[in-house]
Structure 1
Amino acid sequence: MKPKVFLEFVEIKSLIASVLPFVLGTLYAIYNYQQVHLGYLALFFVASSLFHMATNANDNYQDFLHAPRNDANREFLETTNVVGVNQISIQQARVITFGLGGVSLLLGLWLVSRTGLPLLWMGLYSYAVGYFYSGGLKPISAGPFGEFFSGFTMGFMIFWIAVYINTYNQVALTFKGTGQVLVASGLAIFAISNIMLANNICDMQEDIALGRHTILYYLGKPTMLRVFAWSYVAGYGCLIIAVIIGVLPKFSLLTLVSAIPVFKNTRLFLKRQVKTETFILAIKNASLICLMFAVFMGLGLIFG
């Protein structure tokens, strides 16, 4: 398999969605606990990145494998899905998927042996979501909870695991501490879940043809477009609350500047939902929000 095809198969461009929550969780740990474990953190970064690629690969080949073979889906199978377009064999797809996932699992288990069982439970949840997102008899992505699981798992769990790995030997896990991490990661959660929502909005008719009953199927496009817009508002609200309760530096509030281009992009998406034209706006929004969040959190560590 050519490197270009491999990178397309694992959707390498989407790694930003897991890298930035990883950075944010690390900055959170430094700000609140003044502690970082660079070696363990580097291994977690590699493990989470490999698993993200494995999940993307699994998603692509499961979509190809389970798509109905009829005239209505011929375009999807032959010109849209990366497996069909590049004639990737199912055997190749599985080797890549389980190879990446296997290496990630081994690294994760070693980290568990060094940091403790809480990481095991976090990891088991994440791996289960990663597989069942597009695998199994009833994939998560084909149902109404895809947005929740994608946003929560990538926006919160990666953030939370990064915090845990940096503080496992200093801070005990508590409901209060977990709740504070949840609020602090809220901006990332909503921004990332909106990527999935924008994708489902653009693919609504195709999903119905493929037998997927996403949340659009149940609540309709007009309602979910409103949810898409208000999700950004909710994320910014979480940011403000996190600063008020003292778990994020005040400099983080400068992330609110991103609301100007984010709401501009949102208006464009609300007017026109076309996969090849406007879906990218949700990715730009999430990248801009998380990047500015990380930059201003970093500045907050320096200037208080």
Structure 2
Amino acid sequence: MSLASFFQFIEIKTKLASMIPFILGTLYSLYRYKSFNSKNFIIMSISLLAFDMATTAINNYIDYKKALKSQENKNEIPGYGFSESTALTIIFILLLIAISFGILLTLNTNVIVLLIGIISFLAGILYTYGPIPISRTPFGEIFSGVFMGFIILFLSLYIHIFDKNIVSFMYANNMLTLSLNLVEVFYIFLISIPTMCGIANIMLANNICDVKEDILNNRYTLPHYLGVKNALKLFKILYYIGYLDIIILVILKISPVISLLVILTIIPLNKNIKIFYQNPIKSKTFVYSVKNFALINIVHILSVSIAIILNW
């Protein structure tokens, strides 16, 4: 197995979708709460990256198993150049790394991290595996947006402020008590909206491009139910929701004023949307959904970073 085939199997280029919320959450911990734990940062980055690679590998493996087209070489997974047993070994090792570092992160923080980790783990597995994988339903965009856009960002922020009672879980006198600072949790949710919308749009663009092939493989995704035209409209609207959210964040003084620079990305973004509208093909224009996600969120990251450096 070559390194190139491994990267293709775990789709290394798509890991940006999980690392950007992770970085944003870390930056907002620094900007809003003046808190950073380097040890937890390293541990979570390893666990997150390993789990993201594992879920992608599982998805590609399941697609191979469920594909209706006949395969010429039964001993190799088409497109990757290695055997089914090698694929399963990769998945097992990645999951082992993710779980091990997740447990270590829990030991360094508290049980909230464990609970969120378990829920995320189950969601990631159910997303790609089971009688009806979530990725094969019209709920794929919602799950990918919420879990990758919000949960990752929340957890990447929480590991630095776990002792500040934003969310706490206690057991005393045979009573379990969960307490939430609803205002702060809501603010963190607002921070995550641009990443949620961008990640949902990557999934949506993928499903728009694959809608005909998906039906042949018994995958009835959101574009199948909405129709391609309405799915394309939703694709555009989600980006605009992200821009509106940035303005709200600045008005509420959750984000620095310099974050408004993100609004300027609407010019190249609209050009990318137009290109995708005209020819939504996986091999040619799907990449624009990834470019749009990176464009908006990298500018967001840079603007918050500048505010931290200049102590704005």
Instruction: Give the TM-score category using the shorter length.
Output: over 0.9
Match of 1:166 among 152, 160, 174: 160
1:171 to partner: Cα distance: 3.8
1:31 to partner: Cα distance: 1.0
2:112 paired with 1:105:
no
User: What pairs with 1:1-304 in structure 2 (closer than 5 Å)?
Assistant: 1-68=1-68, 73-74=69-70, 83-173=77-167, 174-303=181-310, 304=312
1:87 to partner: Cα distance: 4.0
**Letter paired with 2:264:** V
Q: Contact conserved, 1:78 with 1:85, CA < 8 A, in 2? A: no
Return the alpha-carbon distance in structure 2 between the equivalents of residues 6 and 279 of structure 1.
22
Deviation string for 1:201-237 (max 9, x for gaps)? 0000000000011011211111111000000000111
Scaled by the length of structure 2, the TM-score of the pair is 0.92
Return the alpha-carbon distance in structure 2 between the equivalents of residues 253 and 237 of structure 1.
10
Larger RCO (CA under 8 A, 6+ residues apart): 1
Q: Contact conserved, 1:47 with 1:107, CA < 8 A, in 2? A: yes
Return the alpha-carbon distance in structure 1 between the equivalents of residues 79 and 195 of structure 2.
33
3-state SS in 2 of match to 1:84: coil
Gap runs ≥5 in structure 1: none
1:2 to partner: Cα distance: 1.2
In the other structure, the counterpart of 2:175 is none
Return the alpha-carbon distance in structure 1 between the equivalents of residues 191 and 252 of structure 2.
10
**Letter paired with 1:31:** Y
Q: Contact conserved, 1:249 with 1:301, CA < 8 A, in 2? A: no
1:88 to partner: Cα distance: 2.8
**Letter paired with 1:144:** P
Return the alpha-carbon distance in structure 1 between the equivalents of residues 72 and 240 of structure 2.
39
Q: Contact conserved, 1:155 with 1:186, CA < 8 A, in 2? A: yes
Return the alpha-carbon distance in structure 1 between the equivalents of residues 26 and 108 of structure 2.
18
Gap runs ≥5 in structure 2: 168-180
Deviation string for 1:237-275 (max 9, x for gaps)? 111111211211111111111111111101111111111
1:12 to partner: Cα distance: 0.9
Return the alpha-carbon distance in structure 2 between the equivalents of residues 144 and 186 of structure 1.
20
1:119 to partner: Cα distance: 0.6
3-state SS in 1 of match to 2:58: helix
Identity %: 35
Deviation string for 1:123-168 (max 9, x for gaps)? 1121112111111110010000111111111111111011100111
Return the alpha-carbon distance in structure 2 between the equivalents of residues 294 and 221 of structure 1.
32
Instruction: Tell me which stretches of 4 or more aligned residues in structure 1 moved more than 6 Å.
Output: none
How many residues get paired? 296
Return the alpha-carbon distance in structure 2 between the equivalents of residues 162 and 291 of structure 1.
17
Change (3 A) 1:146 1:89: same
In the other structure, the counterpart of 2:177 is none
1:78 to partner: Cα distance: 6.7
Q: Contact conserved, 2:138 with 2:222, CA < 8 A, in 1? A: yes
